[in-house]
Each structure stands twice: as structure tokens, then as C-alpha cells.
Structure 1
Amino acid sequence: MGKNNIELAKQAELLPRLVIYDPAYRQIEYPNGDVPENYGVCSDVIIRSYRKIGIDLQKLLHEDIKTNFNQYPSQRIWGLRKPDRNIDHRRVPNLERFFTRKATVKQITNNGQDYFPGDIVSWRLDDGRPHIGIVTTIKLPDSQRYLVMHNIGYGQVAEDVLFKWKIVGHYSY
């Protein structure tokens, strides 16, 4: 577990809790663009946490998708014909593909001790929708498992959701 991973987890823990869940498409600046701070979805937890440690996922993902468009699900899922720097980085399947291409892909297990602060975890919810979060430094009482910072509709919160849904991605970046 590297220094950046611990710092990433701590930055996720510092994100404001009161965020209106809003997946609306918005035109944003580039690079370092963001939707208004009091709005967001699960992917914004990831984007904002990385930005706090000096990593602009909007720019990095846009640059990669621009040169490797066919490697991303943008056309298959959303019918796009070219990259869109306003939204590509906010879509969980694109983040999963980016992390698969650029991060350390870690084993998916049912053992909470295999998930460390700063790890990125992605799931498929019971209805099939994608979801993503960051493992924090906050341990469950009487456990070796950490809480996960995510936003599923009621703010950016750290909760015991690691095994609540089917894990489809586990990364360290």
C-alpha cells in the first residue's frame, strides 16, 4: 500500500457529505473540470479524490480514450462516435476500462483483508447498473475490513458496502 493510496483514501474521507445525486450531462472546463461541488455521482468521488492528490482523471482518461477510442465502451453503451471530455471520465464503465488499462488490476476476492485504503472497487448493483468507490482508512469496529467511500444517492459517505454488490473491478492507481 503506497503513500499515494493512503493519501487518496484520506482525501476521499474529507469530501463534503452533502451532495445532490445528479447524473446530468454538463459542459465543464478542460482540463481540471468538475460539476458543481454540491452535485455528483459515484464517479465524482473517485475524480475529486484523485484531483486532491494532483491527478486529473478527466485529462488522463480523455487523452487515453482519444487515442484508443475503440478500447472503451463509449460507442457500444452510449452510441458515441468520438470522445467527450465533459462526461467520459464520469462514466463508471469508462473508469473501469481506464483502470484496467493503466492501473494495477488486483484480484477480486471475498476476503475483506485483500482490500486496502486507496483501492478502487467497482460493482454491478442488483439492477445491473455500475457503481464505484474508494476503500478508506476507516476500519469497521472489531474487523479488519475498511469502509468504502461512495455516493449512491444520499451523499458521499463511508459505509460497509464492500460485499453488498457483485464486485467486478479492483484496482490500485
Structure 2
Amino acid sequence: MARRSNNHLDTIEYIGPRPQKPAKRPNFLAGWVVLLVAAGAVYFFGKPFLPLLQAQQTAPTTERADRLIAELQPSAKPGERLAAAALQRTQSAVAYEDAYYKIPYPNGDIPSDKGRAEDLVIRSYRALGIDLQKRVHEDMVRNFSEYPQIFGRKSADRNIDHRLTANLQRFFRRSGAELLVSTADGDQPSQDLTDYQPGDVVAWRLAGGRSHIGIVVPGPGEHRSESWVVHNIGSGPVWENCLLNFKVIGHYRYTGEESVDVTALAPVQW
């Protein structure tokens, strides 16, 4: 007789925890490699945009100008108050205009929405109660031969004389406001920006021989300690970091007080 097989006893079952595979050790080196590769890719592709981002963070905005004006206006230093007045000029829309105008005297001005570099300087000084139209005209009437003979004129003209950089240079110089602009060799303007303080007036020689003029002001934001300028070179009053971008031919610190010592004056650059 055949023997029955007990199938339920043929398979041995294991009862207990499932065997675990040995845990793999984390590969920290591979993680750092991935991070370094990612950082390198960000730097490589983002590098061209860094200057743009930095410029946006320190751009001379209206808000930064307002904060600086509020800081400089109450100052006891005339130069800082003049710098504040110059910064205020950047908030006015002005079309570049170098035409001759017949204007009132004193305190005469061309239309407020027009002007050039000299008009920016004149309007900034008027905010401090200093009328360069009157002061330049009076000195030219008394000492016309001491001024450059522009356009072949034989006498002073109260409509235009104060609106010419060369005449402003000579007036500041005759007023004892001229500062040195050259190094020891006498050829190159000083490259030390610490020589220029807020409210200083600077004259430049542009390409092509044209003269230009502007006012030194602090820079925006984190550039507060730097020497920037407010000027109108053709697109209206602007606040720019371009003090040494042109050849400096004149540096003046005029506060309204005049002390002329003509015998001490060195030859001036026109």
C-alpha cells in the first residue's frame, strides 16, 4: 500500500525578522563634487550679469539722492550745502541748450527747462544765495582785460559772461578759490580723489578741445565716501562717477568769500 506524503511537512518555514543587506556608507566626496560643479556653472553663466547687478545695487537713484540731500542740506559746511543743491538739479528735466539769451539782471536765468553745464553751476550757487551772474559781471566790468577775450568782445556782457566756463575759471581764480590740479611734474592732473571735496567745482578739457564744468558730490549708497560729480554734458543734469574720465584743467573751492591775490596766481589752463 502506498504511503501518503505529508506535503505540509516537506517545506521548512523561517519565522523571524527579514535579513537586511549591509548599509552602504554615504559618499560625501560625490556630494561636494556635485555642489562644486553647480557653483561653477552658476559663476560661469552668471558672471556677465554681476556688473549689472552691482550697478543696480549702487545706482544713483532719486531715493538715494533724496537721502543724501537731506543729510547735506543742514550742514555747516558751504561745500556740502552746494553739493546738496547740485544733487537737487538732477531731479529737474533740463534740455541741453547753449544758445545766447537776453536775461534779467541780477539773478537772471534762461528758461528753467533749458541749460548747459555752466547753468547747472550757476543755479546750484543761487540755492545758497550766491549770484554768479552779478559777481562775474561786476568783476569783468572793473577788470575786463584780466579775463579771456572770448568772441572778440570789447566789454562785459551780463547776459552770457557767467555762462562760459573760461570766465568762471578766471573769476574763481581771481577770488582766491583755485586749488592745485597737477602732480609734481606739472603735466598730469592729480589722481588722488581725496583732494576733491563735496561742493568743489571742477573744469575739464573734453575731446575736441571743448571745456566743461561740474560740481563734486558724494557717491550713492555704499559709495558715499567717493568723489562723484553732478554735471550736464548734453543729456541734462546727471549724477555720475566720472571725475577723472576727462582731463582736469581747474579745481576750485568757492564759498562766496573773495580774497584776490593776483600776484600769487600761476598760469591757468584754458
TM-score tier by shorter-chain length is over 0.9
Pick the structure with more strand per residue: 1
The match for 1:129 is 210
Question: Which of these residues, 133, 139, 151, is aligned with residue 78 of structure 1?
Answer: 151
Preserved CA contact (<8 Å) 1:124 1:165: yes
Q: Which amino acid aligns with 1:66?
A: V
Residue in 1 that maps onto 2:85: 11
Distance in 2, Cα, partners of 1:107 & 1:144: 21
Q: Is the 8 A contact 1:135 1:147 kept in 2?
A: yes
Deviations 1:67-113 (A, max 9, x none): 0000111x2x3111110000000000000100111142112111111
Instruction: Please say if residues 218 and 226 of structure 2, whose CA atoms lie closer than 8 Å, have aligned partners that are also in contact.
Output: no
Structure 1's consecutive aligned runs of 4 or more residues displaced over 2 angstroms after TM superposition are 137-145
Residue-pair matches, total = 171
Q: Distance in 2 between matches of 1:50 and 1:27?
A: 20
Gap change, CA 1:100 and 1:54, over 3 Å in 2: same
**Unpaired stretches in structure 1, ≥5 consecutive residues:** none
Contact 1:140 1:160 in 2 (8 A): no
Task: Tell me the distance in 1 between the aligned counterparts of 2:103 and 2:223.
Answer: 43
Q: How far has the Cα of 1:36 moved from its partner?
A: 0.7
Identity over aligned pairs, percent: 47
The normalised TM-score by structure 2 is: 0.61
Which is helix-richer, 1 or 2?
A: 2
Which residue does the alignment assign to 2:143? 68
What's the Cα RMSD here?
Answer: 1.6
1:7-156 alignment runs, 5 A limit: 7-15=81-89, 16-73=91-148, 75=149, 77-108=150-181, 109-139=190-220, 141=222, 144-156=225-237
CA distance in 2, matches of 1:143, 1:9: 13
